[in-house]
Structure 1
Amino acid sequence: MQRVCLALPTMRPCPDTIVDLAEEAAYAVENFGVEVHLLILDTTDAVEFAKNAGAVAALEPTPGVFVHHLGEAQQREFLHRASVRSGAADPELLLDLMLPRAVAYGSCVNRLFLGAAALDCTSVHLRNDDADFQVLDGRKVFPIHHELLSIGRPAGEAAAGVSRSVLDPADADKPVMLVAGSFVGELCVDISEMHDLDPDVYREVVRLWAPPVWSDEEKDAMVDVSFKGADSEPFSTDESVLGVPDIWDVFMCNTALDHRAYEVLPLLPSIETIGSDYVLLHALVHSGMPGVVHNRHIVNYYTPERRTGAGFIAYQTRFVKFLLSMLYLYPVYGGMIDLGRGLLDERHGLRIEPILDLARGSVDWDQAGNEHCLDVLDRSYRKLGGKYAELADAVAGQRQQLLDEAQEDARRWVVLVEAWAALVAAARAEGLGTASGVSAR
């Protein structure tokens, strides 16, 4: 029986999301005959953890659905054992890359990847705690429907389960390692207020995301589509396309990945940096691997704490670090585009060596580009005034730290990529069942 991992990382109380995902897991079992492991990796404090644990305890027992709710201590225990078992020269460094004492979006997804390996799952189906499912005729629209039709299958076989195929016949034997939808609702990066205050400032800031070698026209075109997801039309009927996806059409929190992808390449363990979890999607898209894009888009929303006071400064600083990370990621992405299908081996798997070479080559990139980025941000935020002027002060006060951390994050990713294969094998050998806080239903 196919065993899959429906995966939720969270750092806040989200009992409603847990209930929704349990329903999605039951839907998958009923309609596809799979075994679903709902893996919740929870880094909340004791009070908030108890709220999530209460939601787990109240779930209706469902044959074929197994729920695993691990707090930070349980995760640390599992990761420590796996790091030691991997034979790493510095298992404590490896543990810090996987579970740092700071928010790290890529790291939390990497932990889900290792958890899936430990559970012997063949795919991971990623969700988030600040999104809802669309509803049609009173029923939730679950993305796992399209994901299980195609994930892991040879692309030629997957063609029978999509509404349209643009598959190159030469790719028919390649496995579908990526199935994804997008989102509707709020921007996937919480910067819409900036646009409301001053569209010109918004455009200048978002243009910093574009590769510096692009023309102004190309940068403006990128601004027009950035962070917006799908159109606002509500779901009415299923549509899905098989072919090489466009990176703009996939959203990491509405994605299924085959184990032959995430067991090869980990995400960046960047601290306090949004958008650090897309590198694997870039590798699959730029290598020309077939995938499926569907329209079961999730509904994105933002929790209030990130829009005022310290929460605002913290989130917007993560956006600043996202912009700074591009200095080290664009050489990698550009190299992936140049290599194209050369990123794949003769068995259609990702080759880690060329990706690792690209990552190593980017870590010593001249910081002048990031110096310019911070200058533009400082000017832009001060023009907006108010809390954005306070943000400018906060960023200016840690300017060198931000520059250094962006470079250090790139270096830490290289370390993790080098250790990843051994760490995945160790996680699979350890298993997750010995970790406390695991319950089965």
Structure 2
Amino acid sequence: MDKRSVVIPTNRECVDCIKAYVEETRKIQKKTGEECSFVLIDTSPEEVQETHSVLIDELKSEYKNIKIVYLNDQAQSEFLNKLVASYQTENPKLLYELLNPSGLSYGAAANRTFLVAAALGSNIVFRRDSDTLPQIKDGKFLFPSDIEDEYLGKNVCQIKDLLDKNDYANELDKMGNNPILMVGANYLGEWAGDYREMYEYDPDILKKHVWMNMPHKTSEEVDARIEYRYLQRNSDLHVEDRLQIVIDDLIEVGNFALKDVFLDVPLLPSEYALSMDYFYHSLFDELLLPKLYHNRHVQHFHTGERGSEAWFNRYHLGIAKSKVLRRYLAMVYKGISMNRERILKGGRIDNIEIAKIFEVVSKVSLEEASVLMDDLADLYSSINIEKYPKVAVLMREQKEEILLDAQKDIEKYAFLCKEWKALCEHASSIIDSLQ
């Protein structure tokens, strides 16, 4: 029997978001007739955590039939300490550091929500970002989970006649009876100001920037990505439900649902690296696991910290590290594709086989990654807006550190991936930590 959780990791105030998605949790539970938990993983400032804690207590009184789990910094540390201390591993110190790193890590934040979901016995998670809200239609929230829960676990053959577009006919045939383990949509709202600024300064600058992430793509494919990922982002208001099988990372991680995969393999817990929480997208593509895209997009709101110089520098150094990591991951994905039959068994992913590929790739020193860092710094230097040449200087100064960190991250992930499935199974034994 499937068991569900709605999960939100946050590092900011998100009162309206919490209220909306607790209501979505209630609707899921009512529709399925089965338990659905609401989980908030909170790393926001202390005063914000206090506000959230008061709200959670109020919601527990209002939604008495919903299991609501709130973990602030202290509760997360207690949960992870108990989890690691009671789990048999050769390197508990490293395991804890990867689960709860000191620096910002989107992958680690998501992994913590997965472990909590595992402890609750959930094999389905509905992930929502804390800077989003559902669309409102006819005066009511338009919840993505209505679509997500209906199609998770089915295969393409069962829904082929419902698909809005069939851009990937060859891929659909290859997917055969592989289960749909990811269903999601996109965001509505302004695209990130820094990317918009690049585009308005010179569209070719943004194109070169995006192309560095996907050097194997053609010019036309990069143009198409910029069009659908950025330019059209705010224009797809819901009229009626549409479904589409997609390749690549069109599905946003802040508005999607997963089944089983998060219990098999973790996300990369790299610190200060963007987009590592999109690892499943490429993993699915290489394993020929279908990703179902729908159009119940959520409203996305950029928060105030994006305007500061410190945020800008950290964000774009994170972009640099993520571009380096993508070059290593390109080798990982090639290895996954070549070993598909050994990795995917009965709709489940063999974490040990994935870990072996990461171990091999971690021993490779990539000269092209060094060249990539130089090219990226040159690109930023060419933008005649003061903050871009400034961050280009930081990229050059921190180049060797970023290159070394990226290679170490691949090695560390191999360790975490090897432990992951057993760790998730063990998590259910300490469920009392979440009561």
* TM-score normalised by structure 2 residue count: 0.90
Match status 1:238 vs 2:241: yes
- Residues 327 and 365, structure 1, Cα contact 8 Å, conserved in 2: no
Give the aligned partner of residue 266 of structure 1. Answer: 266
Give the aligned partner of residue 124 of structure 1. Answer: 125
- Residues 351 and 420, structure 2, Cα contact 8 Å, conserved in 1: no
Q: Which among 200, 204, 211 is matched to residue 200 of structure 1? A: 204
- Residues 11 and 43, structure 1, Cα contact 8 Å, conserved in 2: yes
Q: Report the Cα offset of residue 319 of structure 1.
A: 1.6
Give the aligned partner of residue 142 of structure 2. Answer: 141
One-letter amino acid of the structure 2 residue matched with residue 38 of structure 1: F
Residue correspondence of structure 1 range 28-177 to structure 2 within 5 A: 28-59=28-59, 61-153=62-154, 159=159, 174-177=178-181
Residue correspondence of structure 1 range 332-343 to structure 2 within 5 A: 332-340=332-340, 343=343
One-letter amino acid of the structure 2 residue matched with residue 43 of structure 1: T
Bigger shift: residues 49-58 or 67-76: 49-58
Give CA deviations for 1:299-325 in whole Å, capped at 9, x if unaligned: 223112122221221222222221121
Give the aligned partner of residue 367 of structure 1. Answer: 366
Give the aligned partner of residue 186 of structure 1. Answer: 190
One-letter amino acid of the structure 1 residue matched with residue 68 of structure 2: V
Distance in structure 2 (CA, Å) of the matches to 1:271 and 1:381: 22
Distance in structure 1 (CA, Å) of the matches to 2:70 and 2:30: 22
* Counterpart secondary structure, 1:263: helix
- Residues 10 and 129, structure 1, Cα contact 8 Å, conserved in 2: yes
Give CA deviations for 1:261-296 in whole Å, capped at 9, x if unaligned: 111111001001110012223222322224432111
Give CA deviations for 1:15-35 in whole Å, capped at 9, x if unaligned: 111111112112212333232
One-letter amino acid of the structure 2 residue matched with residue 365 of structure 1: V
- Residues 123 and 263, structure 2, Cα contact 8 Å, conserved in 1: no
Distance in structure 2 (CA, Å) of the matches to 1:32 and 1:188: 36
Distance in structure 2 (CA, Å) of the matches to 1:215 and 1:320: 22
Bigger shift: residues 335-344 or 392-401: 335-344
One-letter amino acid of the structure 2 residue matched with residue 390 of structure 1: K
The alpha-carbon distance between structure 1 residues 147 and 226, as it changes in their structure 2 partners (threshold 3 A), is: closer
One-letter amino acid of the structure 2 residue matched with residue 209 of structure 1: N
- Residues 187 and 229, structure 1, Cα contact 8 Å, conserved in 2: no
* Counterpart secondary structure, 1:414: helix
- Residues 7 and 125, structure 2, Cα contact 8 Å, conserved in 1: yes
One-letter amino acid of the structure 1 residue matched with residue 72 of structure 2: G
Give the aligned partner of residue 214 of structure 2. Answer: 210
* Counterpart secondary structure, 1:247: coil
One-letter amino acid of the structure 1 residue matched with residue 263 of structure 2: E
The alpha-carbon distance between structure 1 residues 64 and 170, as it changes in their structure 2 partners (threshold 3 A), is: farther
- Residues 210 and 222, structure 1, Cα contact 8 Å, conserved in 2: no
Give the aligned partner of residue 379 of structure 1. Answer: 378
- Residues 207 and 222, structure 2, Cα contact 8 Å, conserved in 1: no
Distance in structure 1 (CA, Å) of the matches to 2:193 and 2:359: 28
Give the aligned partner of residue 20 of structure 1. Answer: 20
Give the aligned partner of residue 318 of structure 1. Answer: 318
Structure 2 unaligned blocks of 5 or more: none
* Counterpart secondary structure, 2:382: helix
Q: Report the Cα offset of residue 189 of structure 1.
A: 8.7
Distance in structure 2 (CA, Å) of the matches to 1:22 and 1:332: 38
Give the aligned partner of residue 408 of structure 2. Answer: 408
- Residues 178 and 289, structure 2, Cα contact 8 Å, conserved in 1: yes
Structure 1 unaligned blocks of 5 or more: none
- Residues 355 and 413, structure 2, Cα contact 8 Å, conserved in 1: no
Give CA deviations for 1:348-393 in whole Å, capped at 9, x if unaligned: 3223344223212221333322222221222222222311122122
Tell me the matched-pair count: 429
Give the aligned partner of residue 328 of structure 2. Answer: 328
- Residues 191 and 233, structure 2, Cα contact 8 Å, conserved in 1: no
- Residues 80 and 92, structure 1, Cα contact 8 Å, conserved in 2: no
Distance in structure 2 (CA, Å) of the matches to 1:188 and 1:262: 28
Q: Report the Cα offset of residue 394 of structure 1.
A: 2.3
Across the aligned residues of Structure 1 and Structure 2, the Cα RMSD in angstroms comes to 2.7
* Counterpart secondary structure, 1:65: coil
Match status 1:388 vs 2:391: no
Give the aligned partner of residue 4 of structure 1. Answer: 4
Bigger shift: residues 105-114 or 169-178: 169-178
* Counterpart secondary structure, 1:27: helix
One-letter amino acid of the structure 2 residue matched with residue 282 of structure 1: S
One-letter amino acid of the structure 2 residue matched with residue 100 of structure 1: P
